[in-house]
Amino acid sequence: MNKLFCLCLALVILGACNNPDSPKQSFVAVSGIDSSIKPGNDFFRYVNGRWYDTAKIADDQTGVGSYSFLNIPQKQLLQNILDSVSKMQHTPGSIEQKVGDFYASGMDTVTINQRGYQPIQPILARIDAISDVPSLIKFVAIELKTGNHSIIGFGISPDNKNSGINIAHVYQAGIGLPDRDYYFKTDSPTISIQQAYKKYISTLFQLTGSDLAAATKNVDIVYGIEKQIAASHKTNIELRDINANYNKTAVASIGKTQPNMGWETVLANLDAKTDSVDMAQSAYYDKVNALLKSIPINDWKIYLKARTMSSYAEELSKSFMDASFEFSKLLSGQAIQKSRRQIMTQNVDNYLGQALGQLYVKRYFNEDAKKRVKSKAAGIGQGSLSVIWKVVHGSTTSSTEAGTVPRRTYN
């Protein structure tokens, strides 16, 4: 089949070359090419050098490239929609009402700043009520469902060895810095990040009522727990080994080897009915299982408060948002915070993306736009490719018309 396809392709190309009516091809001058550099010496600079030397990253962005050129204008269109629907009255229950109210609530910075950390006080109170390891694990599992992550990483996705089914996966978690190496490297940039992280956690405790001395003590406890947890983490290089990070195990089995984790209770609180899980990094959970007994429960409660405050910092008052940004900008390189409109546009897109998409289509993709797209799409699959299809498959129907071309999806 491959030989036949290549032969047909060669015949089509040869025919095109011999056709006096076929347009002559010419090389296209690419302005970005740096001809002063030999491509064999430094191909990256030959192709990208001029762009690399002149491209500028906007102060409120973390990078620049073709995607940002498309994405940023599109975000502006979404902002236009949200600014409009949030200022109008809509039928209760309509998409416009839901999207508009969500956006407007996030734009009400006066109320948000007045409330301080009041929205998370019930969660902090539940942490105070933790009395033992089982109640701690129950809290962790319940909070997972709302996106408040701590010592358990959990998700549902295809089985690595059988993509036809979805299974439960648990993976290493529990740290506030990007990966384990940030806790153990001793170079000056890493130390600066460690210090900034500790300052951030201290600020969160002070914003929720602790004095400086108590906040400093709490930071030592939190960072100490995270460093012990990080020691059991696999490195980024180790995480690349797909087979080594696949450990499908019976729930009954890990219930015996990691009794403190209470896996059956965890899965029940997550509404996950399964008899097995892929324990991607089992050494991590072995370590946490031991730490649940060796670390005092009160220290765990301080740790959980730090994780909770960090999880919600960007949704709370300006003081929390500023503290979060001051730390994160060291990791991201972003110079200034995004505007409130940008933040809320992204939040609506994240949480109500399907609804916002309908409003986008209604406003910016009208019937005329549909006709233009369909007109362009009608020509796809014609010409040489359709000829090849017919020769190879002995059919008068093109691949596009038949709808039999296999599709590849990308994550």
pLDDT single digits (tens) 295-333: 999 999 999 999 999 999 999 999 999 999 999 999 999
CA angle 153, 355, 103 (to 5 degrees): 80
**Distance between CA 279 and CA 245 in Å, rounded?**
8
Using alpha carbons, select from 56, 35, 55 the residue that is nearest to residue 47.
35
> Residue 173's CB: how many other CB atoms inside 10 A?
20
Amino acid letter, 50: R
Cβ 157 vs Cβ 168: under 8 Å: no
CA angle 368, 371, 375 (to 5 degrees): 145
pLDDT for 386? 42
pLDDT for 26? 57
Radius of gyration of the CA atoms of the chain, in A: 28
Q: Any residues with CB less than 8 A from the CB of 359 and at least 6 apart, and which?
A: 81, 85, 95, 96, 99
Cβ 232 vs Cβ 174: under 8 Å: no
**Distance between CA 25 and CA 10 in Å, rounded?**
17
Determine the length of the chain. 411
**Distance between CA 344 and CA 281 in Å, rounded?**
35
What's the Cα-to-Cα distance from 105 to each of 68, 92, 109, 156, 322, rounded to whole Å?
Answer: 27, 16, 8, 31, 19
If phi > 0 it is left, if psi is from -120 to 50 it is alpha, else beta; for residue 328 that is alpha
> Residue 307's CB: how many other CB atoms inside 10 A?
25
Terminal-residue alpha carbon distance, the chain: 30
Let me know if 103 is exposed, middle or buried by CB neighbors in 10 A (0-12, 13-18, 19+).
buried
Residue 319 CA neighbour count, 13 Å, CB half: 14
pLDDT for 70? 82
For the chain, list residues with pLDDT below 50.
1, 3-5, 7-12, 382-411
What's the Cα-to-Cα distance from 346 to each of 81, 126, 318, 325, rounded to whole Å?
Answer: 13, 30, 18, 16
